[in-house]
Structure 1
């Protein structure tokens, strides 16, 4: 694991990017195993009264009590596999925090995407910690201020990279993975999270 990182300087945000966090060979091994072994699903969400399939494949893993609700869906955690448990341990060592769940997103090509959103669900606590491990094709990751439409900053998330979003980032910023015709290869993204059961939130 590499400690070489870059601070992404956005106001009211705490963002750190590790461009070569894991070496290419191990990253390729993880990508191959997880792509083949994960029981992928493609949930339906309600959008403007219509039910549509999300434009990517997903899977949620975590500790037994780490249920995660977003986009109107409640995700019951799959049990950690040995590989995911190993990756989680490495990520926890990097950030110095316990992470009890991981959302896997599989973008089959550039037409799979993630719309504008913030990871600010109640169960992520007051200052959500989201640690994003990127495997496969490089995709552009955009940021915009909440309440605005202009992209303020973009970063190319590379194979084997790690992006740590913490502090007040999710309160003030939204992010997206836009569709692109330029990418034909798949990308696998693992976003590790802290699910916090705090009734007072």
Structure 2
């Protein structure tokens, strides 16, 4: 059984980290299955008027038809797969939050990344809870405060880990998964959220 979460020492935020939420065998199983069963896609993003391929693959799954828009990309969900439902139910039991949607990300290597952002889109509500699961390669995850340049935080997101961001976190902090020159394998990140 996993240990109690580590509460990150971040002002104006509520972030809990469960280092071994899923054990090694289950994490390996889910990584293999999700790699095969999720319908990964690579969208264009527009930065300063220029189009680029997003530096990762994504997919949206939900128990409703609510689309999700971020960075001028609108995604339409597919129905949850068996594995996504199993993972979702386990997180819901731990967090007491019922999630409607999952934005999945596949980082193929160290050059795949996600720049500074907050998950603060209108459809997520005023105080969104985001539950973020990692399967596969470990990557460093960074936080920085939006209004105060000194508070920063970072942690290594491990295979089978769960990071839960809630309360005022998205209103006060940005987060990113930067590129790395290290040779790293594939990482699947599932971000469960509530999109009404």
Q: TM-score, normalised by structure 2?
A: 0.96
- The 8 Å contact of residues 102 and 190 in structure 2, kept in 1 or not, is answered as yes
Alpha-carbon distance in structure 2 between the residues aligned to 1:41 and 1:99: 22
Any stretches of 5+ residues in structure 1 without a counterpart?
Answer: 197-201
Alpha-carbon distance in structure 2 between the residues aligned to 1:150 and 1:28: 38
Alpha-carbon distance in structure 2 between the residues aligned to 1:186 and 1:108: 5
Aligned to 1:104: 104
Give the secondary-structure state (helix, strand or coil) at the position aligned to 1:144: strand
Q: By how many angstroms is 1:148 displaced?
A: 6.1
Alpha-carbon distance in structure 2 between the residues aligned to 1:148 and 1:39: 39
Aligned to 1:69: 69
Alpha-carbon distance in structure 1 between the residues aligned to 2:158 and 2:148: 27
Any stretches of 5+ residues in structure 2 without a counterpart?
Answer: none
Give the secondary-structure state (helix, strand or coil) at the position aligned to 2:42: coil
In the alignment, is residue 83 of structure 1 matched against residue 54 of structure 2?
Answer: no
Residues 37-52 of structure 1 aligned to structure 2 (within 5 Å): 37-52=37-52
Aligned to 2:9: 9
Alpha-carbon distance in structure 2 between the residues aligned to 1:151 and 1:171: 14
Alpha-carbon distance in structure 2 between the residues aligned to 1:10 and 1:57: 30
Q: By how many angstroms is 1:64 displaced?
A: 2.2
Q: By how many angstroms is 1:151 displaced?
A: 7.0
Q: By how many angstroms is 1:2 displaced?
A: 2.4
Alpha-carbon distance in structure 1 between the residues aligned to 2:107 and 2:195: 24
Aligned length: 196
Coordinate RMSD, CA, aligned: 1.4
Aligned to 1:189: 189
Alpha-carbon distance in structure 2 between the residues aligned to 1:63 and 1:79: 6
Alpha-carbon distance in structure 2 between the residues aligned to 1:122 and 1:184: 34
Q: By how many angstroms is 1:37 displaced?
A: 1.6
After TM superposition, which residue ranges in structure 1, 4 or more long, deviate above 4 angstroms? 147-151
Alpha-carbon distance in structure 2 between the residues aligned to 1:33 and 1:23: 15
Q: Report the CA distance shift for 1:35/1:150 in structure 2 as closer, same or farther (over 3 A).
A: farther
Q: By how many angstroms is 1:3 displaced?
A: 4.7
Q: By how many angstroms is 1:66 displaced?
A: 2.7
- When structure 1 is superposed on structure 2, of 80-89 and 6-15 the one drifting more is 80-89
Q: Report the CA distance shift for 1:101/1:26 in structure 2 as closer, same or farther (over 3 A).
A: same
Alpha-carbon distance in structure 2 between the residues aligned to 1:103 and 1:3: 26
- When structure 1 is superposed on structure 2, of 187-196 and 141-150 the one drifting more is 141-150
